[in-house]
Amino acid sequence: MHATRRTGLTRAASCALMAGALVALSGAAYAADPLVKACAKDGEFVIGFSQANNAEPYRQHVNDELTAAAKAVPQFTLQIADGAGNVNTQTSQVDNFITQKVDLLLISPFEAAPLTPAVQRAMKAGIPVIELDRKTVGDPGKDYTAFIGGDNYKIALEAGKYTADKLLPDGGQVAVLEGLPSSTPAVERLNGFKDGVKGNSKIEVVAEQAADWLPDKAQTAFAAMLQAHPDIKMVYASNDMMAAGARLAAKGAGKEGQIKIIGTDGLPGPAGGIRAVAEGEWAATFTYPTGAKEAIEMAKSILLDCAPSVSPNVTVATTAITPDNAKSLMGN
């Protein structure tokens, strides 16, 4: 009898212990460790940004938007380093940020593979890494904290559909100016546009050539295209700078205003695509979002709100800049 009573007590105790363990485990599941141990609402944090190349207008646009977004958060100090289009320079800058023990690292890698080890070193040092626009090798959420950027293929697909439906509903010959062919964005934008115009069987892509994102190369390339195909009605440029070069080529051929031009990036300012559309020089441009606001919001979640995790992939939508909205967007 005594043995039976002891067994009953033991079972009751075991049940209580198991219940307590389950509660503890459940509480642990809801109280996961934050990504950064020193996070705090009233803390002061340094964010390092390794930019691929400040010389590119789009990259400067990213810097401007990041600076503005960070200034709105009193707890943040943003430091921007110019990678100058050199992987060795950018690698050194990332290592410097690690040595400084910045609280969070932002990076737009000039090239993926060469900068992967530097990003891995930052992650091993306990520094969250948010990649903007371009990725290093690996998986978001594991090899780096998160990626924020636009979808190059979808942006170009929208440009192709706009061409097929709005610009050339009756068809015609089309040319494409591709970016640097060794870069992923250039390939994705080329393929996206070509897939987009497939919706109109009357459209024929008669010429495509890489101009490496540069306006002078685009001007030379499109001038040659117009000589070979004088009936071209429209040109899609994979960035705003090449669209500007294409316009100069059309002007030089005596066809200014006769050829419809679409850019990509939707840059502000006097040399940007928004103004060019607003003033009737181009038919449209499609924004490639900087992801700056989203990056700072994610940094707030990590550093101020002590988030245990963040979305590993954030895709920022494009905006079509057309004659309908360009003037209203010039001041934005």
pLDDT of the chain, 332 residues: tens digit per residue: 334 333 344 444 444 444 444 334 333 333 479 999 899 999 999 999 999 999 888 899 999 999 999 999 999 999 999 999 999 999 999 999 999 999 999 999 988 889 999 999 999 999 999 999 888 999 999 999 999 999 999 999 999 999 999 999 999 999 999 998 877 788 999 999 999 999 999 999 999 999 999 999 999 999 999 999 999 999 999 999 999 999 999 999 999 999 999 999 999 988 899 999 999 999 999 999 899 999 999 999 999 999 999 999 999 989 999 999 999 998 65
Q: How many residues does the chain have?
A: 332
Q: Is the pTM of this model over 0.85?
A: no
- Among candidates 250, 119, 127, which has minimal Cα distance to 177? 250
Q: C-alpha distances in angstroms, 20 versus 15, 30, 91, 275?
A: 9, 16, 50, 65
**Distance between CA atoms of residues 306 and 133, nearest Å:** 25
Asked if residue 291 lies in contact with residue 150, where contact means CB atoms within 8 angstroms, the answer is yes
Let me know the angle formed at the C-alpha of 114 by 109 and 115, rounded to the nearest 5 degrees: 40
